[in-house]
Structure 1
């Protein structure tokens, strides 16, 4: 079975979501269903149908999270010696050579990626162009808007 890389923080966030779903949301939904059943005829009981639908979504999300955690290869980048090389889990600061604008990205798994917060997927064009490169290297990365030249300013294992 294929393992998918995930940062330690990503795994902890999924475990917390799973805990909330199983210990808080699932019991609340069961109570909501019980209360809705007391209202009588289930065929025309909107509360009952809404609670059952929410239960289906909740159970589906629980299964999804358990599957992701089961297939995750959790990597704690803080346990790896920093040799200035860009790896999965590293935080990279780049300088756009043309515009002289600095950007910082953390390379994470597909499920954790959120460009707005600076977390980019290992499979994104930028991350693929950076993996294996070192501090002070200049790299050309092909993105949908064209080719961009960056200098790797820093690589942090945080």
Structure 2
């Protein structure tokens, strides 16, 4: 229970590798916040965690091994947060950048499709901002997955 089956450095390396690969995979997958997850998105996240659990632990089921992996993942998350708060380039690389979805009352359908945004999501954002299509100056898909609508003055 308290004796690790693998050396400590291997658990740290496994945690770092899995974290980095999942970070890239989630980044490539798109821009959705947790609040915007569909049931299918949530299912994918749950299955991702299950699919990498053995790769993280390498068969080590000890308490110190599990805590070491958890500390590694939290530590990496802190490092990423530190980097993105200090470097605009790191933030753009890891978090992404806003994408212009529409301007002057016109929605750019190709951009919307390319970013895998449902047309209904843009319409919902416009309703939330109490904005008709003719009143829209710009519509952005933010780096965090939220859609922001700016009204004409």
Length-normalised TM-score, structure 2: 0.29
Q: Which has the larger radius of gyration?
A: 1
Higher helix share: 2
Q: Tell me: higher relative CO, structure 1 or 2? Use CA pairs within 8 A at least 6 residues apart.
A: 2
Length-normalised TM-score, structure 1: 0.28
Higher strand share: 1
